[in-house]
């Protein structure tokens, strides 16, 4: 029976809709794998299983024996958990699992203070899966994290501006960057930002007066987060400084109101973008060094005290995700 690897990401327990979700894999029943504890009686129908190995990928690559692994079974209105440890070959196994229905299995481990998680679905057509939990040696060195793309959509109504953003970070090393509550990742917001919405990619975001913070560990490779916020300019011309702690090699801003002009040091006009029948002026900037600042100025804003309609946020989120998929697909980033 063929095998497939499940994709792995850091654990994100309390966040909004993820940008990239879902994992799957197929059967492998290793002999001698540690038996799961707390088994429950399976439901009627196929009996499922999840098994695999925990492998440390910071060279030299090797399996991890005696590594704790947990399985959370999340169902409609309830959840349960099982625990096991890997054998000397790094293998683990969870058996007698229910199959089908509205249910997801979360396989978790922690290594070097960094949590790891992968999601698995079991179906009657594929009741058993194999996953590899790839873990890494950890480091607190934030200099190995760099920003690549910052993509934003700016839209306006009378008296209000709504900005939807995706920021992409890359860890080009072979180590996971440990992030803690005492030393979180920080994403500064412009002064006056309100009605902040977490679009996706977060683990447990928190909102401070001037920033979003989170404890997402930065694994080797790329990660991205999405968020939106409102601004209420009092004049037809409005400027705000935007600090990028991790920098950005490319900044792309789309402005949805043709009467509003964007300007700022380093910004240049690009080709107009059309999406779902709407036209957006495109402005580009970059590179921005780590800790650098962008100053964005909008001229010609409609003047009124009307508030931004809440329903428009979901429309912009859809537009943002479609736009960033195109933007990032055209800008592949090689790990360094």
pLDDT, tens only, 200-241: 999 999 998 789 999 999 999 999 999 999 998 888 899 999
279: CB partners within 8 A, 6+ apart = 258, 272, 273
- Domain 1-135 and domain 142-329, same fold? Reply is yes
Confidence of residue 258 (pLDDT cuts 50, 70, 90): confident
* Cα-based torsion angle of the residue sequence 321, 323, 325, 330 in order, rounded to the nearest 10 degrees: -160
Check residue 6 and give its pLDDT: 38
Per-range mean pLDDT, top range of 8-22, 31-45, 173-187, 270-284: 173-187
pTM of this structure: 0.74
Helix (H, G, I), strand (E, B) or coil at 211: strand
DSSP letter at 100?
Answer: S
Identify the residue whose tokens are 């080797």: 220
Could you give the percent of the chain with pLDDT greater than 70? Answer: 76
Per-range mean pLDDT, top range of 83-92, 270-279, 295-304: 83-92
Check residue 22 and give its pLDDT: 32
Going from N- to C-terminal start, the domains of the chain cover 1-135, 142-329
Q: Which of 21, 15, 72 is nearest to 203 (CA)?
A: 15
- DSSP string over 150-167: EEEEEEEETTEEEEEEEE
Calpha distance 114→137 (Å, rounded)? 9
Confidence of residue 248 (pLDDT cuts 50, 70, 90): very high
CATH superfamily of 142-329: Mu homology domain, subdomain B (2.60.40.1170)
pLDDT in tens, 290-328: 999 999 999 998 765 544 444 454 455 555 555 554 554
HEC-encoded secondary structure of 271-336:
CCEEECCEEEEEEEECCECCCEEEEEEEECCCCCCCCCCCHHHHHHHHHHHHHHHHHHHCCCCCCC
Domain 1-135 falls under CATH 2.60.40.1220: no
Half-sphere exposure of 321 (CA within 13 A, CB side): 14
């Amino acid at each position: 029976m063929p095998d497939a690897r499940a994709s792995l990401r850091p654990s994100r327990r309390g966040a909004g809709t993820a940008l990239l979700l879902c994992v799957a894999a197929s059967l492998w029943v290793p002999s001698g794998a540690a038996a799961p504890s707390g088994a429950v009686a399976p439901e009627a129908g196929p009996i499922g299983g999840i098994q695999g190995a925990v492998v440390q990928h910071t060279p030299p690559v090797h399996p991890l024996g005696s590594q704790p692994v947990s399985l959370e079974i999340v169902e409609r209105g309830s959840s349960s958990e099982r625990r096991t440890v890997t054998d000397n070959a790094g293998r683990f196994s969870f058996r007698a699992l229910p199959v089908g229905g509205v249910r997801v299995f979360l396989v978790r481990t922690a290594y070097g203070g960094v949590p790891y998680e992968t999601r698995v679905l079991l179906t009657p057509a594929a009741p058993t899966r194999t996953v590899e939990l790839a873990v890494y040696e950890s480091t607190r060195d934030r200099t190995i994290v760099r920003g690549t793309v910052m993509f934003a959509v700016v839209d306006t109504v009378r008296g209000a501006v709504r900005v939807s953003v995706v920021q992409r970070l890359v860890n080009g090393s072979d180590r996971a960057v440990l992030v803690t509550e005492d030393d979180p990742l920080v994403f500064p917001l412009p002064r006056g930002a309100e009605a902040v919405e977490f679009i996706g990619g977060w683990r447990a975001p928190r909102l401070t007066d001037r920033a979003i913070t989170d404890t997402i560990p930065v694994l080797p490779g790329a990660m991205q987060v999405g968020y939106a916020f409102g601004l209420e300019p009092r004049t037809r011309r409005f400027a705000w400084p935007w600090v990028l702690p991790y920098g950005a090699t490319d900044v792309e801003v789309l402005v949805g109101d043709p009467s509003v002009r964007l300007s700022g040091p380093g910004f240049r006009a690009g080709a107009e973008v059309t999406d779902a029948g709407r036209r957006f002026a495109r402005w580009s900037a970059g590179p921005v060094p780590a800790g650098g600042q962008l100053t964005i100025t909008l001229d010609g804003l409609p003047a009124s005290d009307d508030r931004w309609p809440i329903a428009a946020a979901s429309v912009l989120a859809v537009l943002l995700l479609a736009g960033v998929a195109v933007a990032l697909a055209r800008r592949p980033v090689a790990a360094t």
